[in-house]
Structure 1
Amino acid sequence: MGSETKRSGFAGLWLAETLRVINSVNADWLNHKAVSQVRAATPDNAPQTLAVNWSLSVAERDGLVQDQLRWQRRAVLFLMIGMLLSLLAGFTGAITMLDSQQGVVNIPWSLSAILGIHFLMLLIWIISLFIRSDGAWSGRLLLSLLARLRGHHGAELAQGFVTLSQRNKLMPWWLGSVSQLVWLAGLLGSVLALLTAFSFQYYSFSWETTLLPGSVLQWLQESLSWLPRILGVSSDTLTLADNGTGLADEERRAWASWMIVVVIMYGLLPRLLAFVICLLALTLRARFAKLDLSHPYWQRVLGICLPTATGGRITDPAPDALVSARFAQPEGVFDGPDAAIRFELDASQTSEELRLSAGQIREVDTRVEREEELHWLKATRPKKLLILCESGNSPDRGTLRWLTRAGACAGKLGIFLMPPQTGQQDRQVIWRQLLTEAELPEERVMTDWHQVRQWLQPEAGSSSWQEESQGNV
């Protein structure tokens, strides 16, 4: 359970939601083997913590933690590329705007070109925060952007991220954080362009207008100088010039400095403040983010993990094909050696009572191993197949379906239910009931080793793997 410390908080919830997305199309991913570890790591049995810890265990086992880390690195790389492009666009745009004025900078026009779109988009973002929305449009927008991030389980990680963010109302703040960073980079490019141009080229400055009276320009200068003046940047020595002629070098430097300060004060600082607000909102909201435990998937997980879960039976509606799964009478010739499978059990759960070496019992834990084992059984066609199951785990439809498929590959199928832990005896009863409903003969469902030894006795004229292993004990 080393992944909880590394993938805690929102990252852990994100992994859990991603597993839910994956398992919505693949119900066989339920990992009973991790249950004992999860319970040990969650002494208070809080449902949210149980669900997350169980998901972290499965994610670590199946490599999803590393997939998430790679996905995050790609996302950061894409963001850095976007910020670099924005910085270059801001730099190029400001240089082009200055060059088009042929050495005389019209200050109102230049500031409008640099800050106009910035102010408009910032206003739209602020208004959007007060509009009630379920986040669907922002979710679709972010999902379309995240779809560009390829990689193993990339689509599922993106869907899990968006679903979790929408449910916990984090989407506007994620999008806000990204947009503020991109705008910060663009405005920084504009400031760098002004510094570069004013440092290496000779410019004069003017306040020009055709329709507006001069008093408007005077008011505009005083208004723009208000914030710099509060922060200690004085503009008292600046005088308006209608065409930029007659300005002394000291006045040109003063106007250049004033213009750069205005772009920083009204461009960079508001975006930086907006980014900090988004970051704080994300931090606070992510701290209280939760999974939707009412979802049938999480109900199944909690049914497995909660030691005192009531019932433990499958409560979500199932397709008819799953409900009607039955242990059918095997057809054909089964002349392969008897086989035993430890199904989703910890390696510590020994089977010494069977007098078998570890190499003679096959292991099944993951979905891939389930399919591989079915192929092996079809090729081997054992006379008898014994499957050892953890009776403390609630059986899900994927498990029952796999057991029926495995039983069809052997002449006789026996299922041994490992002794349950204290307080879980009711689950053993549930196992028996479900296996009986699936038409497995009651004598094939065993709960003590004496029954197993009796069932494993070789029939007349045949030998079993139990006898073959006696000499190794």
Structure 2
Amino acid sequence: MESAAALAPAGSPLHQHWQAEAVRLREAHWGPLEDTVACQQALRQPADLQQRILARAAWLAGQGPLQASLRQWTTAARWALAALWLGAVLAGAGAVLGVLGRPDGTVNLALALLGLLGLHTLMLLIWLASCLPGLPATGTTLSQGWLWLTRKIARGPDAALAAQAFLSLLSRTRAWKPALGLFSHGAWTAFFAGALPCLLLLLSTRSYTFYWETTLLSPDTFLTLSHWLGSVPHALGFPLPSGQSVAQSMAATSAPAPVQAQWSWWLIGCLTVWGLLPRVIGLAVCGLWLRLRIRRLRIDPDLPGWLELRERLLPTHQALGVDRPAGRPDAPLPGQGRARQAARHAAVLAYELGADIPWPPVGLPDAIDDLGRCDSRADRARIRQQPPARHLLLVCDARLTPDRGAAAWFNELRHTSADFQILCLAGSPSRRLVWQQFLSQHALPQAAGFDSWLAHLGSPAHD
């Protein structure tokens, strides 16, 4: 589970889809957000609904507290997981102390194996069975404890929303099973990471007597069991006790010290091969499985909240360039000539330019004022409060689709400037043609280029 969160750094596909899901759930719970500028930013992306939904969500999350809440929840989740895994390390050490903690230093090998590997084996078999096709993924006690602890650490109005969006995203991409597997295998890996060093330390500093003890079973049973469990560790270099060692460990008298050392390494080998190794392999398998699921992340446009965005982010009028013809421009306002006399000489203004287009223009003369970028209602209000310019060049991004809102704003600017022109940058020839048609329909003058506009300012007719 922690690996799933670790796979979501800012800008990664998982983080982008997590943001989008959080925005979708927030709007579903508390109503639509103000997204005029967000949609305009999204429309600068290629004509792909998924990319535009992700771009819109990224802008909305960045403008509000949601992005900070996602970061806070991720940090809390990692701390909670670190605490639980630290508890697993301590549990592993405690299990070894419980198995080897008899005052007389005797260790029943059968009970030691059961105490160190019994629950682990049972949980591993349950996990393998849950991976069968058709079985639903259900949360474990560890995962529920992790979520509870994360909620205690991450507090705030959007903390629950972040968790709900994350779990919803995992469920929809069928990544819940590998995420649970990562959490479980990680916890058991931490368990054995605490058990093995503790076992080595105790066996290196104290003297123990290992024995097999039974009332119902025959000595051959323990011989078969010890050889079967020790065969794989023996292939990795751990010693394999002989039949004589098994017989000596079942006798009333203590076995020699070399036999006790063999049983010590045999126990360490069993814990390594049958405990730690399967969990490390399971951790790697679930990590790869989760990565494959994450790579298949896709936006489902039919989900509530995203279905309504299709027309706004992929407008059907985009190919035409204009959503609805507007009326002819109004006549100049009364008294506008006096306002123009008090206006500044010339200015340039960027209208919703993409971030890849530098601003202000290179080579802008000092005598020409830069009004900055106009991307929001606040920017329009700021520009309205400034003295109007006699000569105004509005620079637009031809990759966007002009609409009635843009036409109304252009008309407003034209009413405040004696000489108003529009320059279109970027965009393909087809997109520039759309803008030419739009400007022609609204009788808006278009500048051929920045240099030609500067030459236009220097002509005698416009001094």
Please indicate, yes or no, whether the TM-score normalized by the shorter chain is above 0.5.
yes
Q: State the identity %.
A: 25
Residue 33 of structure 2 is matched in structure 1 by 29
Is the 1:89–1:186 Cα contact (8 Å) retained in structure 2?
Answer: yes
Say which of 2, 11, 26 aligns to 1:7. Answer: 11
In the alignment, which residue of structure 1 is the partner of 2:210? 205
User: Shift in Å at residue 9 of structure 1?
Assistant: 1.1
* SS class of match (1:99): coil
**Which residue of the partner structure matches residue 91 of structure 1?**
93
The equivalent residue for 1:67 is: 69
Q: Distance in 1 between matches of 2:159 and 2:169?
A: 15
Which residue of the other structure, out of 292, 303, 311, is the alignment partner of 1:284? Answer: 292
Given that 2:226 and 2:241 are in contact with CA atoms closer than 8 Å, whether structure 1 keeps it comes out as no
Give CA-to-partner distance per residue, 1:328-378, whole Å, 9 cap, x none: xxxxxxxxxxxxxxxxxxx9439xxxxxx98xx99757xxxxxxx9xxxxx
CA distance 1:30–1:136, shift in 2 (3 Å): farther
Q: 224-233 or 280-289: which moved more? A: 224-233
Q: What pairs with 1:190-269 in structure 2 (closer than 5 Å)?
A: 190-235=195-240, 239-240=245-246, 241-243=249-251, 245-269=253-277
1:31 aligned partner, one-letter code: D
TM-score normalised over the length of structure 1: 0.64
- Offset at 1:17? 0.3
In structure 2, the partner of 1:428 is 404
* SS of the residue 1:258 aligns to: helix
SS at match of 2:351: coil
Secondary structure in 2 aligned to 1:205?
A: strand
Residue in 2 aligned with 1:156?
161
The residue number in structure 1 matching 2:127 is 125
Check conservation: 1:205, 1:243, Cα contact below 8 A: no
Q: Assess if the C-alpha contact under 8 Å between 1:90 and 1:188 holds in 2.
A: yes
Cα shift at 1:237: 5.2
Flag structure 2 segments of 5+ consecutive residues without an equivalent: 1-7, 320-348, 353-369, 385-395, 417-463
CA distance in 2, matches of 1:118, 1:274: 13
1:449 corresponds to which residue?
412
Cα 1:134–1:290 change in 2 (3 A) is farther
**Structure 2 counterpart of 1:462:** none
Task: Provide, for residues 149-201 of structure 1, a one-character-per-residue CA deviation record: whole Å limited to 9, x for no partner.
Answer: 42341111001001111111011111111111111111222222211221221
| CA deviation string 1:425-444 (max 9, x = no partner) | 6x539x99xxxxxxxxxxxx
SS in 1 for 2:154: coil
Aligned to 1:173: 178
**Which stretch shifts more, 19-28 or 297-306?**
297-306
Q: Deviation at 1:131?
A: 5.2
Inter-partner Cα distance in structure 2 for 1:172 and 1:451: 60
What letter matches 1:300 in structure 2? Answer: E
Pairwise CA RMSD: 3.8
User: 1:17 aligns to what?
Assistant: 21
Separation in structure 1 between the aligned mates of residue 58 and residue 229 of structure 2, nearest angstrom: 53
The 5 A counterparts of 1:378-457 are 424=401, 428=404, 448-449=411-412
Aligned to 2:340: none
2:230–2:269 contact (8 Å) kept in structure 1: no
Over 3 Å counting, the alpha-carbon distance change for 1:203 and 1:33 in structure 2 is same
Output the CA distance in 2 between the equivalents of 1:200 and 1:362. Answer: 72
After superposition, the Cα gap between the structure-2 partners of 1:136 and 1:264, relative to the gap in structure 1 and judged at 3 Å, is closer
Residues 420 and 93 (structure 1), Cα distance of their counterparts in 2 relative to 1, 3 Å cut: closer
Counterpart of 1:293? 301
Match of 1:458 in 2: none
**Structure 1 stretches lacking a partner, 5+ long:** 312-346, 351-356, 366-372, 374-385, 387-418, 433-444, 454-473
Q: How many residues align?
A: 346
Report if aligned partners of 2:239, 2:265 keep a CA contact under 8 Å in 1. no
Q: Secondary structure at the match of 1:105?
A: strand
Is the CA contact 1:207–1:242 (under 8 Å) kept in the aligned structure 2?
Answer: yes
Deviations for 1:388-445, whole angstroms, at most 9, x for unmatched residues?
xxxxxxxxxxxxxxxxxxxxxxxxxxxxxxx9978846x539x99xxxxxxxxxxxx8
Deviations 1:210-260 (A, max 9, x none): 111111111101100111122233415571111473422222222111111
Q: 1:324 corresponds to which residue? A: none
